[in-house]
Chain A
Amino acid sequence: MKFPPLEYRRAEDLSSACELLAAEGARPLAGGQSLLPLLALRIARPSILVDLSRLEELKGVVLATGGVGGDVLSIGAVTTHADIEQEAAVAGHLPILGRVASHIGHLSIRHLGTIGGSVAHADPAAEWPATCVALGALAEITSRGGVRRAPVAELLVGPYQTSLADGEVISRLEFPLEPGRRLGMAEVARRPGDFALAGAVCSLTQREGATEAVVSFFGVEGRPRPIRLPALSSSELLDEAGREALSHEVAAQLEDVLEDVHASGTFRRHLARVALKRALGEALKEAA
């Protein structure tokens, strides 16, 4: 398998990347861990690849405090999965992101693959898009025309499809930090490093004596979407029978569950329930 004819351009900074991407047929290359296989298989046919992988300004994690939307953990789009796993700011503020990163592929894939590339690629089985959705993350999107922000949940429109326009680059992903929020994720895969057959991410917030939950799945529907469970009583959450019933209720809402050689729709719906119960269990272990 060889790559089709194309032109390679390395961007030196974000603004020159945006200039290069304004050309017809240009497409960003980040870690290449999804795009290069697609090129080899002739599924993608860009004429110019604009390499973002050296853009230091889009790497690393910073804590941004005092903004209008509250405090956020802002991750540069070109930060690799492996670096997110090792980041002290992640361990300190949103340790769940380190755990999520560690589930992606093998170490050699995580050394190159990036969070921005994963969101833009919008694989329904990928961990990052679902995590961004459950945590309410915003994408900062830069193009020659300027900068805009959009909830990742709105960016993801279908399997491998986003609402990014040509020439737009995801420059950062911003995860809101909400005190007292409890987070959990779990996935079922046949072997470590494989794409998950099904996975769930959940976020629990205490509101007026009840618990509000936002849940999203990966490997289950064609795209992760926020499933809101507005007012859960403590019995629904705290005992095993309650969580079992809740998981059935949520699984019944799933639509067009993915079906392929790896798992039937019925099996995936079952695994989605298993993952949800485990994710809730993990979140409940965190101190409120």
Chain B
Amino acid sequence: MSEITFELNGRRVAMAAAATLSLADLLRSKLGARSIHLGCEQGVCGACTILLDGRSVRSCLMLAAQVDGRAVTTAEGVAERYAELWGEIESTFLSEGAFQCGYCTSGMIVCLSELLDRRLRLTSAEIAERLSGQICRCTGYAPLRSAFESILEKVDLLVREGER
């Protein structure tokens, strides 16, 4: 067991964690962060993506013990942080058909949050490259790409064709 203290979506957590526990299991099973989905547990699918000190990482490829002293954001935290934009994000995902079963969605939201947080201005091709790190078995990606484009456009982070 390791004693760990960290921040989860802005709130301090102090607890003991077994050395064999993954960060993904800690967040979902012990702390109730149901947005953490496990697809592959090998770092490939991106369903378990979180922000660690603001940078996207796979929570299945970290030990719970490694999170001591750091700050974690899950999709729940993204919804809180972007409370004002959240309705817009949800309705855009719906209208574009950017999810079906929803298994990949929280990873997608965390991936989107990383772009919003850093105010990265991206082209459509760069958005596609980011999405290549997140597997979706349902939508065929084009609707996800349009949803990302449309949300980024609203906050002035989309680079239009010919602009760069």
Interface string of A11-43 (1 = CB under 8 A from B): 000000000000000000100110011001000
Contact between A4 and B56, CB atoms less than 8 A apart: no
Q: B66 contacts A53, CB within 8 Å? A: yes
Contacts of B129 in A (CB 8 A): 192-193
Question: In the complex, what residues of B have CB within 8 A of residue A68's CB?
Answer: none
Q: In the complex, how many angstroms separate the beta carbon of A59 from the nearest chain B beta carbon?
A: 14
- Alpha-carbon gap, A32 to B63, bound state (A): 9
CB closest residue in chain B, given A37: B42
- Of chain B, the residue at the smallest CB distance from A39 is B20
Q: A40-B41, A109-B43, A112-B62 are in contact. Are A3 and B133 (CB under 8 A)?
A: no
- A108 sits at the interface (CB 8 A): yes
For A82, give the chain B residue with the smallest CB separation. Answer: B55
Q: How far is the CA of A6 from the CA of B58 in the complex (A)?
A: 21
A208 at the interface (CB under 8 A from B): no
Nearest opposing residue in chain A for B58, CB measure: A108
If A1-B41, A108-B56 touch, whether A32 touches B62 (CB-CB below 8 Å) is yes
For the complex, give the distance between the alpha carbons of A3 and B60 in Å.
10
B61 near A: Cβ within 8 Å? yes
Taking CB atoms, residues of chain A closer than 8 Å to B20 are 2-6
**Taking the complex as formed, is A107 at the interface, i.e. its CB lies under 8 A from any CB of chain B?**
yes
A192 to B131, CA, bound (A): 10
CB of A8 within 8 Å of the partner chain? yes
Asked whether, in the complex, the Cβ of A112 is within 8 Å of the Cβ of B57, the reply is yes
A106 and B132 contacting across the interface, CB-CB below 8 Å: yes
Q: How far is the CA of A258 from the CA of B55 in the complex (A)?
A: 35
B25, B52, B61 pick with most chain A CB within 10 angstroms: B61
Within 8 A of A (CB), among B116-149: 129-130, 132-133
**A220-248 to B contact mask, C-beta < 8 Å, 1/0:** 00000000000000000000000000000
State whether the Cβ of A174 lies closer than 8 Å to any Cβ in chain B: no
From A3, A4, A107, A111, B63 is in contact (CB under 8 Å) with: A3
* Given A107-B130, A112-B61, 5 further pairs, Cβ under 8 A: A2-B22, A8-B63, A51-B65, A51-B66, A111-B55
What are the nearest 7 A-B pairs in CB distance? Answer: A106-B133, A8-B19, A108-B56, A3-B20, A1-B41, A111-B55, A8-B65
Question: Which B positions have Cβ atoms within 8 angstroms of A?
Answer: 2, 19-22, 25, 41-43, 46, 49, 52, 55-58, 60-63, 65-66, 68, 129-130, 132-133
